[in-house]
A and B are shown apart, each in its own frame.
Chain A
Amino acid sequence: MDAIVVKNLTKYYDGFLAVDHISFSVKWGELFGFLGPNGAGKTTTVKMLCGLTRISEGDAYVAGYSPLRELKLVKKVIGLVPDVSNLYPELTCWENLIFAGEMYGIKKEELVNRAYELLKLFDLMDKKDSKFKQLSKGQKRKLTMAAALVHKPKILFLDEPTIGLDVRSRRAVWSMIRELNENGLTIFLTTHNIHEAFNLCERIMVINKGKIIAAGSPTELKRRFSGSEVLEVSFTGEISIEEISQIPGVIKASRSGGSFKLVVSDPISVIEELVEKARSRRISLNYVNLRGADAEEVFLKIIGEEHA
């Protein structure tokens, strides 16, 4: 069985349909992205899977256990990093980790070793005796992640892991997420940030208004929803703009100085054609730059919204 299996999962809040009969699965070892705008139903889905919100209809299996019937077993094998860094402010980093470990019944010696290991991994050794409230936002985020990993969960849920962080902290958290996944941890990441999802995840599922509206790898989603991309090329010799305009897949071509700017629908086949044309003229390409579709535009297209 897959790490997470969701079948017709549904959530009503006082008659409001927050999650609408969604079904999907996540493979073991996968870094899975659950992408959607604010209020799409991402956090509600995660909370249903972790037992923090009741399931209205449908069912799910997390590491083979149902949150409806085997919640205690689910809680033993998952870690959750919520969108708020909610450790205990008056406790030190060390005390927060030890408390989390104690609650999972980890033996003292093993727990002490694990706490040291996590502080080192998250680069927080020098903050060991600092109170949680004294940490920076990025450090709080890292410690919240460390606390979720103290019992070596099989699946880690990350709810908006970089929300509110500056660029440096965000990149540090991203590299930590990659490292955890490379070490075999299955990660379910929710985000409203398309760049985060495209940067980190192998597979992305897009949710909007409680419904799954698209799924695939970042490349697949870009290809399916981008429509067009911009290709900049220049040659070592002369070639006319008319000739380039006739290449199948070129939507629009313009010349700027010695280079061409092409709007293309299928960049790979256009590049192959350009190489072929250059070869037939005994010249070569000396510059190629493919500017991918803007991630935010792709996201807006997926969720069916227009530019503001």
Chain B
Amino acid sequence: MLDEIRGAFYIAKKDLKEYYFKPPTISWGIAFPLVFALAFLLRGWEKDWLAPGLLTLSLFFGSTSMSAASIVFERRMESFERLLLFPISYLGVAFGKALSSFFFGLLSSTATVAIIWLFLSIPPHNMMLLMLCIVGSALQFSSMGILLSFAVKDPAQAMTIFNSIRFPMMFLSNIIIPVSKLPHYLSWVSLAIPLTYSVEAIRYALIGSYDIIPPQISIPVTFISFFAFLYLAAIMIKRTIP
């Protein structure tokens, strides 16, 4: 067990060195959420509603961009196969990949956190809970990104495919429009999106209120979906073996 965690950590460390400055991670992981945040701020959106959404958004884009870069590039260059030669399980490989995305997600969200702190002046409702929710959300997004990356074969198409999934999720998951204000049929779609639970969890931890999902549900769902995505990603890795 300890060997697996250690191996996953080394994979994450290697990924951060290897992909930190890749264009997709920079442009879609840091620049896009930052620009997005500034755009909303300038239009004068209600800050209590906007802040949790922006924080979740930057975590979401940061965590999923890294996985797009690392797995899709490595599968293309056949270096992903190297990881499968090491004495570590497929789950360990998936966890290592998710960890690098997780760390990058945390790192890329610091700019947004700074904006929330400096420009919106929102003191967290519960700092410990906020940290827990940020960790849970980043883990959930990173493992989801790993899973999605197995749907992409060509690195050139990675961002197109990732964004075709990320953008609808963004608009349906409580970041911009409250689920309670969505048409009835779309609110059901929203409840099926894992991102909705992360936004709700972070919203509660940051401002002390939520839209429709209480923290007793949203926080456990965030962690449960992380484990589920990770397990499915391990299955996808196993399926790459012909």
Contact = CB atoms under 8 A, between A and B. Distances in A.
Most chain B CB inside 10 Å of its own CB: which residue of A53, A91, A103, A105: A103
Interface in B9-37: 10-11, 13-14, 17-19
A51 interface: yes
Interface stretch (A72-80, A210-218, A233-241): A72-80
Interface string A67-90: 000001101100010101011111
B17 A95 contact: yes
B88 A103 contact: yes
B42 interface: no
Nearest to B88: A103
A112 interface: no
B77 A86 contact: yes
B6 interface: yes
B86 interface: yes
A102 interface: yes
Contacts, number: 60
B101 to A, nearest CB: 17
Nearest to A92: B17
A91 B242 contact: no
Nearest to B83: A103
Nearest to B15: A88
Nearest to B80: A86
B1 interface: no
B10 A102 contact: yes
A52 interface: yes
B85 A91 contact: no
A104 B87 contact: yes
B62 to A, nearest CB: 19
A90 B78 contact: no
Contact of A54 (B6, B81, B241): B241
B79 interface: yes
A50 interface: yes
A82 B11 CA distance: 20
B3 interface: yes
Contacts of B241: 51-54
B3 A86 contact: no
Q: Is the interface of A mostly helix, strand, loop or mixed?
A: loop
A88 B79 contact: yes
A198 interface: no
B10 A91 contact: no
A91 B14 contact: yes
B82 interface: yes
Given A90-B19, A99-B14, A102-B10, A84 B78 contact: yes
Contacts of B52: none
A88 B14 contact: yes
B84 interface: yes
Contacts of B87: 72-73, 75-76, 103-105
B5 to A, nearest CB: 12
A99 B6 CA distance: 12
A50 B77 CA distance: 19
Interface string B201-242: 000000000000000000000000000000000000000011
B242 A88 contact: no
A104 B86 CA distance: 7
Nearest to B82: A86
B85 A75 contact: yes
Interface string B89-116: 1000000000000000000000000000
A91 B17 CA distance: 7
Most chain A CB inside 10 Å of its own CB: which residue of B3, B14, B78, B88: B14
Nearest to B89: A72
Contacts of A51: 84-85, 241
Interface in B97-146: none
Contacts of A102: 10
A102 B18 CA distance: 16
Ranked 4 nearest A-B pairs via Cβ: A103-B86, A102-B10, A75-B87, A86-B79
Given A75-B85, A80-B85, A102-B10, 7 more contacts: A52-B85, A73-B87, A86-B78, A89-B18, A91-B14, A95-B14, A105-B3
9 contacts: A50-B85, A53-B241, A53-B242, A72-B87, A75-B85, A86-B79, A86-B82, A90-B18, A99-B13
